[in-house]
Structure 1
Amino acid sequence: MNKVLVVTGGSRGIGRAVSLLAGKRGWIVCLSYVANREAADSVVREIEAGGGKALAVKSDVAVEAEVAALFAAADRLGPLGGLVNNAGVVDVAARVDEMKAARLTRMMTTNIVGSFLCAGQAVRRMSTRHGGQGGAIVNLSSVAARLGAPNQYVDYAASKGAIDSFTTGLALEVAAEGIRVNAVAPGLIETEIHASGGQPDRLARLGPSVPMKRVGTAEEVAAPILWLLSDEASYTTGTIVTVSGGR
């Protein structure tokens, strides 16, 4: 394939699963991380052990200069063919009337602004309007955008609702320029993000309420993401694929 895939937040959880599967499918993977270099390097080592090529770049998607540096690093690997906007944050459970501006700014800057900045960099490289050869973007949404996450993190749910609108709008904007834009909306998935939001027991509590009676795995989310990036999804754009066990 010899095309580069940028995966933001690629050192753990869904991003890690996407990076590893992409490496197996022939993508050159450029993954970003914020703090855990060892986790990011372990992903690179695993991809390389399987005969693939990968690079980990320290980059906070909330910082415009670091996003630019991430894509500059990707340029050195080859032509960009895809982007997975995976990086995101949650916070501790709270009601809206308990939330402060600092929390909201962090949430929206990382989850929304970061996705916009990365997509902008990708479009400037992949769009035929800019001399590119086309490509695909997959954004990470969440079923929280539909459910609202009351009494937990309405702010996170709202940020993912914005991602849904962003996916639709960008898809229509670049549809004639060789770029497809889709999203995947996971439900309850076994990743570290729940513990980072102060609820390490969240999956155990809510898993039985899922129609399929279990939580999902990061690999079960990575598979449809890689499909949306592939030529098999060549006529699919502006679509949000829900991966939630029926929730």
Structure 2
Amino acid sequence: MSPDAATRPVPTDPARRPATRPVTIVTGGGRGIGAAISERLAADGHDLFLTYRDRRDDAEAVAERCRAAGARVVLHRVELADLDAVAAVVPTAVAEFGTVTGLVNNAGITGRIGPFLDAPIEESELVFRINVLATIVLCRSAIAHMSTVLGGAGGSIVNISSGAATTGSPDTYIPYAASKAAVNVLGMGLAKEFGMAGVRVNTVSPGTTHTEIHAAAGRPNAPAERAARFPMRRAAEPHEIAGAVAHLLSDDASYTSGADIRITGGA
């Protein structure tokens, strides 16, 4: 990927800029937490650019529910391990909508659940490439478009981290926890560097949530298995994460930047 590809300002065509509706990119918007975020944002009046990797039918079903709520929705297939493809996401969204006002970096992977010494380094490399490097590329591209210093109109970014970032997740997925700790620090730094440019950056850190990510990691029953450890004695539901994201993208959070909202049931 060209060093400047993700930071070159994306031109906005004023003729295509919506008068009032925010336009938000949600990565991994076709399933799990991403689907819940997409549907909540559609209900709140956002138009949406949703990325997905596979299972187009699932993404289409989410898009149709969002359209039924009044949103304009564009689906975009991308492999987040391909950083050149990732660098094209924001420009493609701007070409479709005329502007982008919000970015939710939701898509990510955990790697296999298990002891640290059993985690292949190749898997850890992929975890960091998708969870950290792709997030950096998307943030660079979005900020270059949104920054008022560079001619943009400002905007808001929400990075989805994990409660694991502060526990280390021993015997579970330490490399994943480390990648999410990097996401936390990324959000903190970006909020401080670009607050003066009209870009707010915040983080939402869910605890264990009922999604398919656990099955992909080899432990489909993980939410039920872990529930007894949590003060609320249950795992989260995706819609309980979506509400915090919607708040951070809203005008109600206009002075909130650099925050990390933990949604972990008290853990």
Please name the residue that 2:234 is paired with. Answer: 214
Once the two structures are overlaid, the 10-residue window that deviates more, 95-104 or 120-129, is 95-104
What SS class does the counterpart of residue 157 from structure 2 fall into? strand
1:209, distance to aligned residue in structure 2 (A): 1.7
Aligned counterparts, 1:29-178, within 5 A: 29-75=48-94, 76-178=96-198
1:88, distance to aligned residue in structure 2 (A): 0.2
Once the two structures are overlaid, the 10-residue window that deviates more, 160-169 or 71-80, is 71-80
Q: Deviations over 1:26-64 (max 9, x none)?
A: 111001001111111111111112221111100122222
Please name the residue that 1:182 is paired with. Answer: 202
CA contact (8 A) 2:45 2:70 kept: no
Q: Distance in 1 between matches of 2:67 and 2:203?
A: 28
Long gaps (5+) in structure 1: none
What SS class does the counterpart of residue 151 from structure 1 fall into? coil
CA contact (8 A) 1:61 1:118 kept: no
What SS class does the counterpart of residue 83 from structure 1 fall into? strand
Q: Deviations over 1:139-174 (max 9, x none)?
A: 011110111111110000000000111010111110
Q: Distance in 2 between matches of 1:41 and 1:83?
A: 20
1:6, distance to aligned residue in structure 2 (A): 0.4
Once the two structures are overlaid, the 10-residue window that deviates more, 115-124 or 98-107, is 98-107
1:96, distance to aligned residue in structure 2 (A): 2.2
Question: TM-score by structure 2 length?
Answer: 0.90
Query: What is the letter of the counterpart of residue 63 of structure 1?
Result: D
Alignment root-mean-square deviation, CA: 1.0
Please name the residue that 2:13 is paired with. Answer: none
Structure 1 residue 203 corresponds to structure 2 residue 203: no
CA contact (8 A) 2:89 2:138 kept: no
Please name the residue that 2:5 is paired with. Answer: none
Long gaps (5+) in structure 2: 1-19
CA contact (8 A) 1:135 1:179 kept: yes
Query: What is the letter of the counterpart of residue 45 of structure 2?
Result: G
Q: Distance in 2 between matches of 1:208 and 1:138?
A: 29
Question: TM-score by structure 1 length?
Answer: 0.97
Q: Which aligned runs of 4 or more in structure 1 are off by greater than 4 angstroms?
A: none
CA contact (8 A) 1:4 1:28 kept: yes
> Which one of 19, 38, 50 corresponds to residue 38 of structure 2?
19
- Kindly, what percent of the aligned residue pairs are identical? 37
